[in-house]
Structure 1
């Protein structure tokens, strides 16, 4: 029964992670930490093990969903590769920061971080993308009206942002998508569906680098991982299919509500941990 529960968590994490470009860690880490007091096999799990195991799972979620999104031709792999030059070193630094954090602090900081991201998404309509100069990287896409629209970014701005995203990924085990997707939409003018797909492409590679470090530190529980991976793989493909059928505004609204609920639950748990 407990094995089935972990498979279901993996499926939900993979589906929501792929659908919203989060990678699934924003489901796996809270689920493992919240259920540790109710499920015997999860009793005593540490933030380090929850994060390390989550990042390993995200390799499979990222690969599964990226393959599906590549077939839909909505992955901007050129921009993603540029962002990765910042996010991978950041992820390794985040793994280092994760080593000494205690359970209650982890839950509170993680929860507050998620809530802040949800409020940023609430005011996204009032924010304008950063104006790019002549040396910026400019990209084009065809919007819902069939019109050719542009977005772009300066590497000098994007790479430091990606470093911070990678650091938070390694620290919290969330894959970085919860910050990178809003950043791509709000700051660089990415269309939401392309931001989600490109985020999953990045998550696949950054999760590999982060998980290797966590494996070396002994922060991966292989029993949890073997139960979570099958569901995460299927969920990654399922989320990409669902995403194709949703409007951009619907996708952002779902992301916003989901983040608020999870963030509030984690903060509350952090203050009640003895």
Structure 2
């Protein structure tokens, strides 16, 4: 019980802080427990671990979204727009684990995460050109500086659908691509990108969880004890985020992406 509570707390905190959802911690942790203690966790298969993770992501994302909303950092309009594509994608992705053997894809996705982390580093140094978006928004930070961002529907919708598929397939929350997409393509301020990502993840996780529940891919006993930590972690992550600058938050995100990449590559190569 204590181990599950701590796993939920860690996953919720990290997932909320960088807008990744926390599934990258919950899924491997449940699979490790299944191998270490088959008597209690023997029913946890990879598909069940993903389904249970998706259910817990709902709590983490809802908790952090409420906290971020109080900080006025959630772009609900933009988030709902992206969800129009990522929601159906999450439902499709949740149907794939039983049909897809994707070790090679895991490793390739890990390499993609390294590239995305590198691109985030370059974006901090490069000069920004003026871009015409379909939707333009302006936000003012605590120091009174205005930042303009926006999005193209022709780019946002297909990329969001792909993010939703990945979210449902691997139970990683989808933010691993959603946050960099918003920062790199649409110039969301880092704090707003992570906050809005958690709102999108909440909506997508609800959709994906329906599919997993229908298939019976949820370990209810584990979910019950992971839930309190996931909820509390979502609030803690949002609180820590409010204490970081935009540059610091991007650095934390880059480290999280690199750690995720290492995990996916090793998992895809069968190292663990």
TM-score for both structures, normalised by structure 1: 0.89
In the alignment, is the contact (CA less than 8 A) between 1:18 and 1:200 conserved in 2? yes
- Matched with 1:123 is 122
Structure 2: how far apart are the matches of 1:112 and 1:101? 20
Normalised to the residue count of structure 2, the TM-score between the two structures is 0.90
SS in 2 for 1:123: helix
* Structure 1 pair 105–221 and aligned structure 2 pair: CA distance change class (3 A): farther
My pick for the range that moved more, 72-81 or 40-49, is 40-49
How do residues 134-153 of structure 1 correspond to structure 2 at under 5 angstroms?
136-143=134-141, 145-153=143-151
2:227 aligned residue: 229
Alignment deviations for residues 138-180 of structure 1 (CA, whole Å, 9 cap, x no partner)? 1010135412221111222211111111111111111111110
Which ranges of structure 2 fall in alignment gaps of 5 or more residues?
none
Residues 1:132 and 2:151 are matched in the alignment: no
Distance 1:23 1:127 in 2: 30
C-alpha displacement of 1:38:
3.1
SS in 1 for 2:35: coil
CA contact (8 A) 2:147 2:189 kept: no
Do the aligned partners of residues 172 and 15 (structure 1) sit closer, same or farther apart at CA in structure 2, a change above 3 Å counting?
A: same
C-alpha change, 1:72 and 1:172, in structure 2 (3 Å) is same
SS of 1:32 mapped into structure 2: helix
1:95-110 alignment to 2 at 5 Å? 95-102=94-101, 104=103, 108=107
Shift of 1:30: 2.8
| Map of 1:37 onto structure 2 | 35
Deviation sequence 1:57-114 (CA, Å, 0-9, x none):
0111111111111111111001111111111111111112222234855754554454
**Which residue number in structure 1 is paired with residue 25 of structure 2?**
27
Query: What count of residue pairs does the alignment treat as equivalent?
Result: 270
* 1:101–1:46 CA distance, 2 compared to 1 (3 A): farther
Matches within 5 A, 1:129-208: 131-133=131-133, 136-143=134-141, 145-208=143-206
Check 1:68–1:129 CA distance in 2 against 1; reply closer, same or farther (3 A cut): farther
| Map 1:237-256 → 2, pairs under 5 A | 237-256=235-254
Answer yes or no: is the 8 Å Cα contact 2:89–2:162 preserved in 1. Answer: yes
Q: How far 1:28 moved relative to its partner?
A: 1.2
The CA distance in 1 between the partners of 2:75 and 2:259, in whole Å, is 30
Check 1:27–1:129 CA distance in 2 against 1; reply closer, same or farther (3 A cut). farther
Let me know the Cα RMSD of the aligned residues. Answer: 2.3
C-alpha contact 1:127 1:186 (8 A) present in aligned 2: no
